Structure 1
Amino acid sequence: MEVQKKTRMTKQRKVILEEIRRINNHPAADEIYDRVRKRLPRISLGTVYRNLDVLCEMGEIQRLELSGPTKRYDGVPQKHYHIRCVCCDRVDDAPIAPLNELEDDLYGTTVFEIIGHNLEFTGLCPQCAKLHHQQKKEAS
């Protein structure tokens, strides 16, 4: 029988979690590090990365598996989808409920054991769309 070790909420983890939830913009680890250092000046980037991993394992946050160049974190641990701007890499929450029936539809039609899915929408954020349309107008 395996005994699970209870992970404590250390002061460092608590500050990291508070900062992720405070900014609510799906920050990268270096953005989190910059904010946390204002409150804990002696913390290292490695410590932030390790604690982000622990917070993910604890179910307090989630690591976003998006196709953009930056690995990001989300302070909302519940399953939900995201929209990523292909120009500036901005990430927002998609305003739709998770499509759990996708997994149900796939069950029994594959040899894979389905454990979840990721769905990412891509597009242009309002600022990039405005710039894109202005450039298109100027080019015509």
Structure 2
Amino acid sequence: MADKFLGTYDPNQVTLSVSGRLVSGFFDGTFISVKRSDNEVYKTHVGARGEVSRTKNNNTSGQITFTLKGTSPDNAFLDLVKNLPNTFPVMVKNNSDGKFVAVASQAWVSTDPDKEFGVEESGVEWVLTCADLNKAHLS
């Protein structure tokens, strides 16, 4: 019989490193999203007579999107990084149960985030484009 308890997820065990700096001050809700630009592992081709072949998809580009509180000091850091001509490494890691890691050696800030002001603190959404995004669930 399978175990009923699968583990514990702790948002405090999720880290984001941008150019070697641990980012802090995340907004509530979904605060980090990792996705490939094209998530198909293989492309399928069917010939005129129904013969099927597949081609490995070597597109490893993707995006890491995250939202910081307006008061996070890392907004200023990312403002500096976004105008640099070189790329930087980035890593997302979940150290709680259900371990996960995503890494890229070549990333850059791809959008200049909007800024809102209201009666409550708002979030600042940052989007990093990654040339070589690799991600995996770990045991």
Bin of the TM-score, shorter chain as denominator length: under 0.3
More helix by share: 1
**TM-score, structure 2 as length reference:** 0.23
**TM-score, structure 1 as length reference:** 0.23
More strand by share: 2
